[in-house]
């Protein structure tokens, strides 16, 4: 699929950046809250290593997922929608072609 050579107007760039930041904040807030909750319940070393594994996985995942590179933004948004960190409505204002691609990819 042709998705990497789409051009983004300044307005689209701004919409995209705002949605991207929103999803990032949602996901990281979720992780922060989850860790604070889990940490208060920890009683055994095994729980600690499980939290460590969870943190390592989330860190790795976030690093790969939140890359604001226009050439892959359609895929980035499709993934964020699939994982429910973002709604397609929050990308309103992007060209119809981009929205259609993002929507389609998010269902794959």
Distances (CA, A) of 107 to 13, 24, 78, 88: 23, 20, 8, 12
**C-alpha to C-alpha distance for 105 and 108, rounded to whole angstroms:** 5
Of positions 4, 9, 18, 56, contacts a second copy by CB under 8 A: 56
The number of residues in the chain equals: 108
Determine, following the binding rule CB under 8 A, whether residue 66 of this chain makes contact with a second copy: no
Beta bridge partners of 92: 94
Determine, following the binding rule CB under 8 A, whether residue 31 of this chain makes contact with a second copy: yes
CB of 9 to a second copy, least distance (A): 31
Determine, following the binding rule CB under 8 A, whether residue 15 of this chain makes contact with a second copy: no
Of positions 2, 5, 40, 64, contacts a second copy by CB under 8 A: 40
Determine, following the binding rule CB under 8 A, whether residue 43 of this chain makes contact with a second copy: yes
Which residue, 53 or 84, has its beta carbon nearer to a second copy? 53
Residue partners of 78: CB distance under 8 A and separation at least 6: 101, 102, 103, 104, 105, 106, 108
Residues of this chain that bind a second copy (CB under 8 A): 28, 31-32, 35-36, 39-40, 42-45, 48-49, 51-52, 55-56, 59
């Amino acid at each position: 699929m042709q998705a990497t050579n789409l051009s983004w107007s300044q307005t689209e760039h701004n919409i995209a950046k705002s949605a991207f930041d929103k999803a990032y904040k949602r996901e990281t807030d979720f992780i922060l809250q989850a860790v604070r909750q889990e940490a208060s319940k920890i009683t055994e070393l095994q729980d600690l290593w499980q939290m460590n594994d969870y943190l390592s996985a989330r860190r790795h995942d976030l690093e790969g997922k939140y890359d604001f590179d226009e050439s892959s933004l359609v895929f980035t948004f499709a993934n964020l929608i699939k994982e429910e960190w973002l709604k397609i409505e929050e990308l309103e204002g992007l060209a119809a072609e981009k929205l259609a691609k993002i929507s389609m990819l998010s269902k794959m």
